Structure 1
């Protein structure tokens, strides 16, 4: 068996034959369904309980197709969680980069995080993924690379806002996001607005007033 894009060794589990874009499109659609199914199942049954059979049943495909597109269930789960993580990170970075000052940026951040309750499928997938990364060197490396990237993006934004210590503050800011998601899972009634005001004060410290004012 091979990973996605390779040739199946023989018969069973191979994508339906075809040529050109139609065949490629069918294969990508199947892979996407498998990733979606795996992401959903992690939140329902836990990372370690996701199996080839469960993923195939949820995706509505032959179990052999799981191993046509992914070398193992671990590989499937790794790609599923990193796909979600990258989508969340880059959506946040995109909206944050449009904020001209710290206060607007923090408002943007908390607005972005509000739908992530800590118990929604994406939040649960991220929590399970971080835990799995403590035992999976490949997943740990991917998370580390992504965290470094978001820290750098945050640091660039804070520097543009005139923050006096953008690099360290960016690390705290990134960790804050993960912490909020974890806490919301067990403290659903936490005062989000109070946290927002406190984070605004913390990140605004030392920033020139003219760079941190609503126009």
Structure 2
């Protein structure tokens, strides 16, 4: 019986998190209320406060749950690429799936803006981004990148964020068109070899 009750509680909590993730892109971070979350999740308003101390706590949990899963998946997929050039091409291809005005992009942008006012959100987002950069830096080093891998990983992460911001303003911006300059930043060609002509990043047969 206790297990069943705990399972129901977890299901309800997840519905609240999912409702918050859906509402933030629609209404903005500050537009989400307890009543709206409860309505979207199909529960009584009091249930929200049973699971979360405040709407802000709910939004932080929902937002960082989404961003954490997204960054983890990106890192996993990226680090499976055998060369830096292929990794850059793959990342830009992934960005093409987002218009900058889609729900996922809007949620992340709302979170970045809210993090300037909420220390807890800023700290948790910062930890997630640091984890992503660390994975990218390790991958770059393993692929033979000769520069400061940590700095390069930070530059790549910032470039990806910038592309998405520009996509929101310029829907015609094609992320794939930026592959050449980004590959050049890492000293790689489309084929994965370094511009210095070494073979450290060639895909092995």
Asked if TM exceeds 0.5, the reply is: yes
Give TM-score, length-normalised by structure 1. Answer: 0.87
Give TM-score, length-normalised by structure 2. Answer: 0.91
- Alignment match, 2:201: 212
SS at match of 1:211: coil
Structure 1 unmatched runs, 5+: 1-18
Superposed CA deviations along residues 48-105 of structure 1, whole A, max 9, x for unmatched, are: 0100001011111111110011110000000111011111100001111111111111
Mapped to 1, the partners of 2:47 and 2:198 lie a distance apart of 58
Mapped to 2, the partners of 1:38 and 1:79 lie a distance apart of 9
Whether the 8 Å CA contact 2:23–2:32 is kept in 1: the answer is: yes
- Alignment match, 2:179: 196
**RMSD between aligned alpha carbons?**
1.5
Structure 2 unmatched runs, 5+: none
Mapped to 2, the partners of 1:78 and 1:136 lie a distance apart of 9
Whether the 8 Å CA contact 1:102–1:204 is kept in 2: the answer is: no
Match of 2:20 among 28, 32, 38: 38
Superposed CA deviations along residues 95-143 of structure 1, whole A, max 9, x for unmatched, are: 1111111111112212222222211111111100010000001111111
Paired residues for 1:117-196 under 5 Å = 117-165=99-147, 166-196=149-179
Report whether the alignment pairs 1:60 with 2:42: yes
SS at match of 1:210: coil
Report whether the alignment pairs 1:96 with 2:78: yes
Mapped to 1, the partners of 2:172 and 2:41 lie a distance apart of 34
Mapped to 2, the partners of 1:105 and 1:81 lie a distance apart of 26
Equivalenced residues, count = 197
